[in-house]
Amino acid sequence: MEYTQLGRTGLKVSRLILGTMNIGWTTSADDGKAMLDRGLDLGINVVDTANMYGGPSGPGFTETVIGEWFAQGGNRRERTVLATKLYNPVAPFGTPEAWPNESRLSALNIKRACEASLSRLQTDYIDLFQMHHIDRATPWDEIWEAFSVLRQQGKVLYFGSSNFAGWHLAKAQESAQRHGLLGLVSEQSMYSLLRRTVELEVLPAAMDYGIGVIPWSPLTGGLLGGVLRKEREGRSAGAMVSAGLAQYGQQIAEYEALCDEVGEQPADVALAWLLHQPGVTAPIIGPRTVSQLDASMRALEITLTDDVLTRLDDIFPGPGGAPQDGKRRDHRAPEAYAW
């Protein structure tokens, strides 16, 4: 396993992060614990979850399973960089929010959400506490004051964001600096060959502020996971993947042909491409089984040549668009939409 530092911090994290959203959906509690053990065996030291994860098993279920896993001992907690999130209401699956202060980023909900997560996770501290979304109704002064109390109490070590725009990162960091705080150390964004919008503003802002970028959905819901190969083998695609193929079918066909030429699995190439991108700390993988987790390790061994990276850009142009007159425009802000 390769390790890097999370943003500008001294915290060492693995180049792949084990996401746990499937625990409670397609992965049982026992299988989830086996997968968590296997992750440690493979050297993955970051486990990412959220207080709302659990699917039909109920919000909070995933954190509860992780807490039971920690309780087994064997230095599981000590070896894990634990990342969880708050923002969404933790209400029964499929029901609306039950009470006005059970979500978002008020000081009240920050305190209550942290305490509830600590209880479910059976631990006395969270390594990385992440805001799942921006809260436009709560001022940053209130958010950072509430977060600083948690840090002073030793309940949280680092703070991160998810699904923030570039200007949100800037606003958060400038507010933190005014309060003499470390501020954000990570940003979780949707980022893949098919979803490159973060290259416009989020990546440049994160790199400038020393915020580590953690891509989620690196396979774009399975579209980059060899879906055409699977169809040829008789495995049918789900409704969402089929809808994606209707829109991106030609690009996916070209992509899988390139992967065949390179001699690698499409899912591995998609992860390897992210590992080649500047500013990326580690993509989140979301395996359903131990075998899928094992297969993901191949991405760490793949070195993509400049020619292959260029051809991937040709298939999946970044937000700066396709090459013009043989020259590719800079796809970072502001060059992508200015002169």
CA-CA distance, 173 to 152, in Å (whole number)? 19
Check whether 314 has a pLDDT greater than 90: yes
Among 6-20, 146-160, 219-233, 265-279, the minimum mean pLDDT is found in: 219-233
State the pTM of this model.
0.93
Q: What is the pLDDT of residue 323?
A: 47
Check whether 15 has a pLDDT greater than 60: yes
CA-CA distance, 15 to 12, in Å (whole number)? 10
Task: Give 46-98 pLDDT, tens digit per residue.
Answer: 999 999 999 999 999 999 999 999 999 999 999 999 999 999 988 765 566 66
Give the SS3 label for residue 85.
strand
Task: Give 224-273 pLDDT, tens digit per residue.
Answer: 999 998 888 877 777 888 888 889 999 999 999 999 999 999 999 999 99
CA-CA distance, 136 to 57, in Å (whole number)? 30
Residue 177: CA count within 13 A, CB half-sphere: 7
CATH 3.40.50.2300 fits 3-222+265-304, yes or no: no
The separation between CA 190 and the C-alpha centre of its own chain, rounded to angstroms, equals 7
Across the chain, mean pLDDT equals: 92
Residue 72: Cβ-neighbour burial (10 angstroms; 0-12, 13-18, 19+): exposed
Domain ranges of the chain: 3-222+265-304
Give the confidence band of 324 by pLDDT, cuts at 50, 70, 90. very low
CA-CA distance, 217 to 240, in Å (whole number)? 14
Residue 139: CA count within 13 A, CB half-sphere: 3
Q: What is the pLDDT of residue 96?
A: 62
As given in the structure block, the two tokens for residue 139 are 């001022």
Q: What is the pLDDT of residue 243?
A: 87
Q: What is the pLDDT of residue 98?
A: 65
- Residues 183 and 143 sit within 8 Å (Cβ to Cβ): no
Give the SS3 label for residue 83.
strand
Point out the residues that are catalytic.
53
Average pLDDT of span 131-135: 96
Q: What is the pLDDT of residue 100?
A: 84
